[in-house]
Structure 1
Amino acid sequence: MDSAPDPADEFRNWLVLPRNVTVSILLRLGAIEILKSAQMVCSPWHSLCKDPSMWRAIDMRNSGNHLEFPNFQKMCRHAVDRSCGHLVDINVEYFGTDDLLRHIADSSSQLKRLRLVHCNDISDEGLSQAAAKLELLEELAISYCPFSKEALKAVGRCCPLLKSLKFNSRVQRNGDYDGEALTIAENMSELLRLQLFGNLLTNDGLQAILDGCPRLESLDLRRCFNLILAGDLGRRCSEQIKGLRLPHDSIDDYEFNDCCSFVNVSGGFSDIEHANVSGGSKFFDFSYINYYDEDCHDYDHNYDDDYDDGHIDIEYFEAYDDPNND
């Protein structure tokens, strides 16, 4: 009768898995789990986790707990340093700052893909300065960050290889509904893919994009409710763009789907919609809510007094004149 296998033998066999298998396992964990725990499992894993090839892509996806931001910033810097200049893809969520982005740009001249989500502490100047050092950037994904058309202009001028842009749910202020669309059209002529989820651009802005970005193959205009796509403009979109998503198309596959239907104000709205307030038609910026948790707390202020059964005091949201309403 065969004796039972020695648990120690099984443990040793597990440690001597082929390198590529171990790398595959570790990469599936993500940067945060590697730095917080996986690299401490054993000496071979610790040695492998210091290999620059492990840090060509850094995904710092997190829950947005602001108390953890300093730790995430330190871990992100450490991960970038471990890449030894070989970083090509990085995702930073919530905790990004000008200093952190500067460190990434200074250390990663080979960067091709940059994703920023809810990074309120990165300024236009911070993104512009970073773009000047990222000449090889091909993909930029920005969602719920406070960047203006000036930052977009800098990216377009400094990153000639840019092929893909996501610039989602950014509310244009002072009635400049087409400012960002015009900036994209004038400075990013080589774009192949563009997502402007929840943008307030009008037909004029869309027309400029179609004219200024002739190579565009994919265009996502979901929740862009200022657009009127009947007639010639709608036909041109259908004919010119292979992958076209229209304002009222399903958002089931949108990565921030949970942020798009969250409150009821005088009848119910989604991301950016119309409301009749004091006799006039207005737009309301509901992207603010993306910075809050389910109970509508932001990181510095408690809105409990204004939140009751899914209703929020409308005074907390900025109203915009309806450009289609005379």
Structure 2
Amino acid sequence: MESSPSGVQQEEERNWLELPRDVTSTILSRLGAIEILTSAQNVCSSWRNICKDPLMWRTIDMRNPGDTYGMDYDLETMCRHAIDLSCGQLVDINIEFFGTDELLKYLTDRSSMVRRLRLICCYSISDNGLSEAAAKLPLLEDLEISYHSLSNEPLEAIGHCCPLLKSLKLNCRGFRHPHLAIDDEAVAIAKSMPELRHLQLFGNKLTNEGLQAILDGCPHLESLDLRQCFNIALAGNLGKRCAEQIKDLRRPYDSTEGYEFDAGIHNTYDYDDDSYDEDYPSGFSDIDFLTDDGEYYEFSGGSDLTDDYDFYFD
């Protein structure tokens, strides 16, 4: 009998299908919803059964690259299936680029236990749609609405309807433009969200007056991120108060390391020739969505959803 060369051992092949159910569930839960619905649940009947377990859908992560052209599936339809699979046990959901008023209504009609909601670049969600959704999310504790233009009305509705809200992220692209100083969002937060502990306003246009309102109206704030809020000047008494009241303070010109989105800054916009500065970085900007009359275009990188595509989870 021939022996194997010294020091060489034949590694036994691992059969991933024989792993205990709880271990497999843990592994699969680390995938995003898109990967589970398009790939993992098709591997075998065992994985398919695990993927139908409502506990697998307490968290739904619909993260996607934003460029949906060429996709052979409909993200909104897929998200509805994921919501159905949660059987009302959904507590955490992330929707990027393709959110609509109809999808938000579908979600809140079936998932009143949601505690964390993340909406990124969902320009098809209106102020009214967000206000109506807030009324159905009484347990909401953590909310992010980034790269989306809001008026103060839905923010106030969120504050009044979601009394447990502890964390809010309201981020946009840093943009230096002297006359764009807006405190509406800051005032709405100050008036309606007294229990906030964590607030991120990356790239916001609030001024010192808006910041003062937040400090007055949100006395329990522990962390405040003001990076690229270029209308803020943290000097004198205001700077001293922030340092004393806020444990974790990010100032307007602090490093953007660790920020998950493009942190490039837009500078002066030239209205005469309707062009940007030559060295503008690519990414999101308020200007990208503004028309001449101040209205917002829908985000051009959103989903190109097809009406005739049916997604089935048999």
Shorter-chain TM band: 0.7 to 0.9
Correspondence 1:22 to 2:58: no
1:272-311 equivalences under 5 Å are: 273-274=267-268, 287-288=285-286, 298-299=300-301
Match of 1:233 among 225, 232, 238: 238
In the alignment, is the contact (CA less than 8 A) between 1:89 and 1:112 conserved in 2? yes
TM-superposed CA distance for 1:275, in Å, is: 6.4
Distance 1:108 1:2 in 2: 64
TM-superposed CA distance for 1:91, in Å, is: 0.1
3-state secondary structure, aligned to 2:285: helix
Distance 2:300 2:159 in 1: 32
Match of 1:103 in 2: 106
TM-superposed CA distance for 1:19, in Å, is: 1.5
TM-superposed CA distance for 1:66, in Å, is: 3.9
Match of 2:257 among 236, 252, 258: 252
Greater strand share, structure number: 1
Match of 2:197 in 1: 192
Match of 2:81 in 1: 78
TM-superposed CA distance for 1:298, in Å, is: 3.8
Match of 1:135 in 2: 138
Greater helix share, structure number: 1
Match of 1:201 in 2: 206
CA shift digits 1:51-97 (9 cap, x unpaired): 00000000000011243497110110000000000000000000000
Compare relative contact order (CA 8 Å, sep 6+) and give the higher one, 1 or 2: 2
Q: Check 1:117–1:3 CA distance in 2 against 1; reply closer, same or farther (3 A cut).
A: farther
- For 1:164, the aligned partner's letter is S
In the alignment, is the contact (CA less than 8 A) between 2:181 and 2:231 conserved in 1? no
Q: How many residues align?
A: 276
Match of 2:64 in 1: 62
3-state secondary structure, aligned to 1:23: helix
Gapped runs of 5+ residues in structure 2? 5-10, 273-279, 290-298, 303-314
Distance 2:3 2:165 in 1: 62
CA shift digits 1:6-35 (9 cap, x unpaired): x9x957x43121122101211122110000
Match of 2:49 in 1: 47
Match of 1:31 in 2: 33
Task: Please give the TM-score of this superposition, normalised by the length of structure 2.
Answer: 0.80
CA shift digits 1:132-165 (9 cap, x unpaired): 0000000001110122211101101100000000
TM-superposed CA distance for 1:277, in Å, is: 7.2
CA shift digits 1:173-215 (9 cap, x unpaired): x966111100000000000000001111111100000000000
1:138-217 equivalences under 5 Å are: 138-169=141-172, 177-217=182-222
Task: Please give the TM-score of this superposition, normalised by the length of structure 1.
Answer: 0.77
Gapped runs of 5+ residues in structure 1? 262-269, 279-283, 292-296, 301-326
Q: Check 1:193–1:69 CA distance in 2 against 1; reply closer, same or farther (3 A cut).
A: farther
